[in-house]
Amino acid sequence: MPSWLEWALIGAGAWLAVATVCAALVARMFPLGSAVGSIHEPPHVTRHEDVRRRVLLVDDDAPLRSLLRATLSADDFDIREAGSAEQARDVIRFWRPGLILLDVNLPGLDGLSFCTDLVRGGSDAAIILLTGERIGETTARLAGASAVVRKPFSPLELLALIERVADEREFVAAPARAEGGQLLMYARDLARIARTERLQRQLLQDAYRQTATALADAVDVRDRATGLHAQRVRRYALGLAGAVDASLLRDPSLEYGFLLHDVGKIGISDQILLKPGPLTRDEELLVRQHPVVGAQILRDVALLQGGGLGVVRHHHERWDGAGYPDGLSGDEIPLAARIFAVADTLDAMTSDRPYRGALNWSDAVDEIVAQRGRQFDPTIVDAFVAGESDLRAVYEDLSLVA
């Protein structure tokens, strides 16, 4: 059997693999974050400098400028505004943009003429023309523009176009004109972003859960025949928690506390953990430190901030105060830890251990009922008895996997 160190390395490897996948997903969904420097940014520039891309918004429609400013993140873009070509000239005189979003129908000098003047004057800024009229690509090219966008436009498509213009530095075919008003386009894109964010959050939550399960299994398999202990007690505890107080399930840290409750055992040697006979007093004291060690290991992990950390530290406390590590009793013990104590004991009794064989299900249930008001919270035991058939279904389901 692999040593605990090998299993710990397996768990760490799983964590790294999942994190890499998540990072790749984020990078693909939000590509702008990797190209926040100016168009002329040298490769050695770091994030410690102001490498935001300079963008000049030139449009006489102030509300549209506000929408564009909201579209272009302040973390990625340094933005200035102008309501006319004449105002834009004043800005450019003292501030050199890398990108200009330029309305065609400006008061005074029109956008096409201003674009031509800028290019002839030696400006190397990429220029994207914004227009509500039909302007051909040939006309836009002759004026020196990098792209032309028909109003109303999708802000997400505009962001993608900005990236393409910056990367290719030649004329880029713009997306087809969107249907509906400009505010409607923003509303549609906002809905798309919300859907994407929900999907991304679910992917990350699934990745966290899989990683935590892999790490828990790596710890479990040292002193159990299979690595399914963490999965069984997680499901037992979630079922019991829902029966006792459904509001507990709104705390996502509990599930991770259920999974990682025994992570502190990585500090206990195999000679003690796998010992077939009774432990010495010193060995027992060492084993009793694993909840404290686990809580210390996980204290800075964001996923455990909530009731989950209390589960890790207090899952061996007893209702009568004879437990460990802190000797808490009654309601002093966090409710989630009281619930988990029943789930953990149930699985311990129905699983083979180095020093004894597994009890049958009925005997384990009888023992838990016998400890009502002593080892276990009476309310939790009553909920356990009421839902015992559902818990047994979990046991039988996972026994088929083992």
Q: Which CATH fold topology does 35-178 show?
A: Rossmann fold (3.40.50)
Q: Which of 39, 37, 74, 69 is nearest to 56 (CA)?
A: 69
Q: What is the mean pLDDT of residues 128-134?
A: 86
The pLDDT of residue 150 is above 50: yes
Handedness of CA 133, 139, 145, 149 (dihedral sign): positive
Average pLDDT of the chain is 79
Give tens-digit pLDDT for 74-128.
778 899 999 999 999 999 999 999 999 999 999 999 999 999 999 999 888 999 9
Residues 6 or more apart whose CB falls under 8 angstroms from that of 3 comprise 270
pLDDT band at 214 (very low <50, low <70, confident <90, very high): low
Listed in order, the ranges of the chain carrying CATH 1.10.3210.10 are: 225-401
CA distance 105 to 361: 80
Tokens 């790596």 locate to 218
Q: Which of 94, 86, 93, 136 is nearest to 114 (CA)?
A: 86
Pairing of strands 99-103, 53-58: parallel
- Do 308 and 285 form a contact (C-beta atoms < 8 A)? no
The pLDDT of residue 383 is above 90: yes
The pLDDT of residue 291 is above 50: yes
Give tens-digit pLDDT for 340-369.
999 999 998 988 776 677 889 999 999 999
Neighbours of 374 (CB within 10 A): 11
The residue that leads in pLDDT, 197 or 177, is 197
Residue 329's Cβ-count burial label (10 Å; 0-12, 13-18, 19+) is middle
Listed in order, the ranges of the chain carrying CATH 3.40.50.2300 are: 35-178
Residues 6 or more apart whose CB falls under 8 angstroms from that of 313 comprise 291, 292, 294, 295, 325, 326, 337
How far apart, in Å, are the Cα atoms of 55 and each of 38, 52, 128, 146, 255?
9, 9, 11, 14, 46
Helix (H, G, I), strand (E, B) or coil at 1: coil
The residue that leads in pLDDT, 179 or 244, is 244
- What φ, ψ does residue 296 adopt, rounded to 5°? -65, -40
Give tens-digit pLDDT for 1-52.
444 444 443 444 444 444 443 444 334 334 433 333 333 344 444 444 567 8
List the single range of 58-67, 111-120, 146-155 with lowest mean pLDDT. 146-155
Structure token digits, residue 41:
């940014």
pLDDT reported for residue 345? 94
Give tens-digit pLDDT for 188-210.
666 666 666 777 777 776 777 76
pLDDT reported for residue 218? 65
Task: State the CATH class of domain 225-401.
Answer: mainly alpha
The pLDDT of residue 398 is above 60: yes
